[in-house]
Amino acid sequence: MYVDLKGVRLEYPAAEPRGEPVLALEELTMGVGEGEFAAVVGPSGCGKSSLMRLATGLRRPQEGDISVAGAPVTGPLSITGMAFQNPSLLPWRTTLANVMLPLEIVRPHRGRLRRHRAEYEQQAEDLLSLVGLGGFGSRFPWQLSGGMQQRANLCRALIHDPVLLMLDEPFGALDAFTREELWQVMADLHAAKKFTVILVTHDLREAVYLADKVFVMSARPGKIIAERKVPFERPRPMDLIYEREFVDLVQDLRGLIADARSGTGAGQRAAA
Amino acid sequence: MWLTSERAAPAIYTIALLVFWEAAVWIGNMPTYILPAPTVIAGAIVQYWGPIWKNSLVTLWTTLAGFGLAVVGGLALGLLVGWSKSIYAGLYPLMVGFNSIPKVAVVPILVIWFGIGVVPAIITAFLIAFFPVVVNVATGLATIEPETEDVLRALGASKWDVMTKIGIPRALPYFFGSLKVAITLAFVGSVVSETIAANAGLGHMMLAAQSQFNVPLVFAGLVMLAIEGIVMYAIMAEIEKRTTGWARRSGQT
Ligand SMILES: Nc1ncnc2c1ncn2[C@@H]1O[C@H](COP(=O)(O)OP(=O)(O)OP(=O)(O)O)[C@@H](O)[C@H]1O
Ligand SMILES: [Mg+2]
């Protein structure tokens, strides 16, 4: 497996000296093949974002093994691109400069940036147009709507041509039309660049429409309780989401999550 | 509605205060050695313009020298303190303790070390103005949102990258915001020191005038202090406004 997590346990230390530590993930095992598009769904607070932090090496697990491309993950990997739940663009940089930020960090771009700036700027502009932000590069993030910021966030994750893309609810804050538009963009990008994707989402249709494989997580402490293959051919037309098989698969996942929330979730309140 | 117009308001209120003051002195028949009227103070400023100007320049340059040192030193220490959580934890209590010492109490020591003159004034200005700069810069660095830092760290950024790409730009509005406070405090520091141990400067001039019961000259000194203070504050406020556009518009800090 390209991304491999085996028996992973992650506990956050207690916030106060006498508080309880938070067990976020336990006995979590999952594998994603090279070039595969995987989606992770689960109840809110079950540890999806934590899972992303582990796989990108931002945090180390207390137990278990994590490897990417056959090598154990011991720290952040620059082959990954990551878009977090919160766009967190830097307000003092223009949108274009924000998108180009990874190029200032990741080798070999870091050393080439000064001499090939025009070329890189063109790449960033192209990427912005691709997500419908053409011409907005010179604006500052606070001049963009929330949805536009989230699109710029996506561009920032892609600019350094990562081979592994980790997306944490990147479309969560968008309206339905924009979201479907960006699903298309994502699907096209995946087809063109053949990167491996792990997408965390709370939108089950999004998971089924985009992914080859959907993982369902239990309530906290999170582990993988089910894995579903998505059989539909690519490219997938947008109308697919109204078809019988598609709806059935979504319903199946919905049932699994409902069980995860009510059944095993000790201390987990069934919030709406 | 010229009375409530925002642009005219500062001038109108200042003039109103002066008129009220003048009237109160005349109506109350206040002796000049208790409270001189604004016109009398203005007269004193004209009469003693030579020494007032000379001493004002001394106070101005000691204040600016102390302020300059405070900015450089405060920025350096602020970056150091904000660099790591453990340096922050170690130095913060020391700095708070040091800052809580009234600086007036330090002046006699400075006089023992450096003698009477401008050096104690500069150092007092530095000591008193330095703290807000350190605290602001360190706060700007220490309050980086973990998510923003993660964006860089996930790409394999070093601590240095995080500092230069996020920490320092983010701390700049805090830094420029602290200049306003620092210049005011530097001014307080230099005047306090001049009043205790100096042979020049507005503080020294006022002390000498007071011992000769030249109350209008004491007040003339106060007016000059106020003017110098307002001008320096205004300059710093303008610098802050020009350098931190994004912070105000994006609703940060
Ligand atoms: N830095 C942290 N320190 C302590 N506890 C944390 C930290 N980050 C997350 N947690 C806890 O770990 C659990 C899982 O959090 P996580 O953010 O991974 O959930 P999530 O599945 O992404 O939730 P959501 O769907 O709301 O985004 C939560 O109970 C949370 O309170
Ligand atoms: Mg999350």
Q: Note the pLDDT tens digit of each residue in A102-123.
A: 999 888 888 888 888 888 899 8
Tell me how close the Cα of B98 comes to any Cα of chain A, in angstroms: 29
Residues whose CB is less than 8 angstroms from the CB of residue B119 and which lie 6 or more positions away in sequence, other chains included: B110
CA-to-CA distance for B60 and B84, rounded, in angstroms? 36
What DSSP designation does A114 have?
T
CA-to-CA distance for B158 and B9, rounded, in angstroms? 52
Three-class secondary structure of residue A38 per DSSP: strand
Of the ligands numbered here, which is closest to the C-alpha atom of A260?
Answer: 1
Please say if the pLDDT value at position B42 is more than 60: yes
* Number of domains making up chain B: 2
Edge to edge, the sheet with strand A37-41 lists A80-83, A164-168, A196-200, A37-41, A213-217, A224-229
Cβ neighbours of B23 (radius 10 Å)? 11
The number of the ligand 1 atom at minimal distance from the alpha carbon of A52 is 18
B143 falls within a domain: yes
Query: In CATH, what number is assigned to the domain containing residue B101?
Result: 1.10.3720.10
* Per-residue pLDDT tens digits for A187-217: 998 998 889 999 999 899 999 999 999 999 9
Give the mean pLDDT of B131-156.
86
**Residue of B147, B165, B249 lying closest to A142 (CB–CB):** B249
What pLDDT does A7 receive? 92
Same domain for B210 and B166: yes
CA-to-CA distance for A160 and A166, rounded, in angstroms? 13
Residue in B194, B176, B193 with CA at minimum distance from that of residue B237: B176
pLDDT band at A270 (very low <50, low <70, confident <90, very high): very low
Residues A81, A162 contacting (CB under 8 angstroms): yes
Same domain for B126 and B112: yes
The answer to whether B251 contacts A78, with C-beta atoms less than 8 Å apart, is: no
Give the mean pLDDT of A38-64.
91
Which secondary-structure segment (H or E) carries A64?
strand A63-68
CA-to-CA distance for B93 and A187, rounded, in angstroms? 54
CA-to-CA distance for B86 and B73, rounded, in angstroms? 20
What pLDDT does A66 receive? 92
Please say if the pLDDT value at position A266 is more than 50: no
- Identify residues of B whose CB sits under 8 angstroms from chain A CBs: 145, 147-148, 150-157, 161, 165-166, 169-170, 246-247, 249-252
Residues whose CB is less than 8 angstroms from the CB of residue B197 and which lie 6 or more positions away in sequence, other chains included: B107, B108, B110, B111, B116, B120
The answer to whether A106 contacts B154, with C-beta atoms less than 8 Å apart, is: no
What pLDDT does A20 receive? 87
The answer to whether A58 contacts B157, with C-beta atoms less than 8 Å apart, is: no
Question: How far apart, in Å, are the Cα atoms of B198 and each of A31, B118, B205, B226?
Answer: 77, 7, 9, 20
Same domain for B69 and B7: no
Residue A199, exposed/middle/buried by CB under 10 A (0-12, 13-18, 19+)? buried
B252 falls within a domain: no
Domains, chain A: 1-79+163-272 (3.40.50.300), 82-162 (no CATH)
Q: Largest Cα–Cα distance of chain A, in whole Å?
A: 58
Task: Copy the structure tokens of residue A225.
Answer: 């309780």
B251 falls within a domain: no
Owner of token pair 């556009």 = B245
Predicted-complex ipTM score: 0.79
What pLDDT does B250 receive? 64
Same domain for B105 and B9: no
- List the residue whose alpha carbon is closest to atom 22 of ligand 1: A49
Please say if the pLDDT value at position A173 is more than 80: no
> Pocket around ligand 1: residues whose beta carbon is below 6 Å from it?
A 12, 22, 24, 44-50, 85, 220
pLDDT band at A269 (very low <50, low <70, confident <90, very high): very low
pLDDT band at A271 (very low <50, low <70, confident <90, very high): very low
Task: Copy the structure tokens of residue A30.
Answer: 């999952």
B216 falls within a domain: yes
Chain A residues lying within 8 Å of B166, measured CB to CB: 90
CA-to-CA distance for A21 and A236, rounded, in angstroms? 44
Tell me how close the Cα of B154 comes to any Cα of chain A, in angstroms: 5
Same domain for B108 and B22: no
CA-to-CA distance for B66 and B193, rounded, in angstroms? 12
Please say if the pLDDT value at position B252 is more than 60: no
CA-to-CA distance for A83 and A100, rounded, in angstroms? 14
CA-to-CA distance for B77 and B91, rounded, in angstroms? 10
Please say if the pLDDT value at position A248 is more than 80: yes
Residues A64, A5 contacting (CB under 8 angstroms): yes
Type of residue numbered A169: E
B20 falls within a domain: yes
Residues A200, A169 contacting (CB under 8 angstroms): yes
Give me the domain span that covers residue B204: 34-246
Q: Which of A183-187, A189-193, A242-246, A258-262 has the lowest mean pLDDT?
A: A258-262
The answer to whether B246 contacts A105, with C-beta atoms less than 8 Å apart, is: no
Same domain for B93 and B4: no
CA-to-CA distance for B3 and A62, rounded, in angstroms? 69
B51 falls within a domain: yes
What pLDDT does B23 receive? 92
- Identify residues of A whose CB sits under 8 angstroms from chain B CBs: 53, 56-58, 75-78, 80, 82, 84, 86, 88, 90-92, 101-102, 104-106, 140-142, 156, 160
B86 falls within a domain: yes
Same domain for B106 and B15: no
Same domain for B86 and B16: no
Type of residue numbered A33: G
CA-to-CA distance for A255 and B18, rounded, in angstroms? 78
pLDDT band at B253 (very low <50, low <70, confident <90, very high): very low
Same domain for B159 and B200: yes
* Per-residue pLDDT tens digits for A124-166: 999 899 888 888 989 999 888 888 888 899 999 999 989 999 9
Please say if the pLDDT value at position B56 is more than 70: yes
Which secondary-structure segment (H or E) carries A226?
strand A224-229
The answer to whether A105 contacts B152, with C-beta atoms less than 8 Å apart, is: yes
What pLDDT does B249 receive? 66
Q: What is the mean pLDDT of chain A?
A: 88
B66 falls within a domain: yes
What DSSP designation does B71 have?
H
What pLDDT does B84 receive? 79
The answer to whether A77 contacts B148, with C-beta atoms less than 8 Å apart, is: no
Residues B194, B106 contacting (CB under 8 angstroms): no
Residue in A212, A199, A196 with CA at minimum distance from that of residue A249: A212
Same domain for B45 and B16: no
Same domain for B68 and B23: no
Same domain for B39 and B2: no
Give the mean pLDDT of B56-64.
92
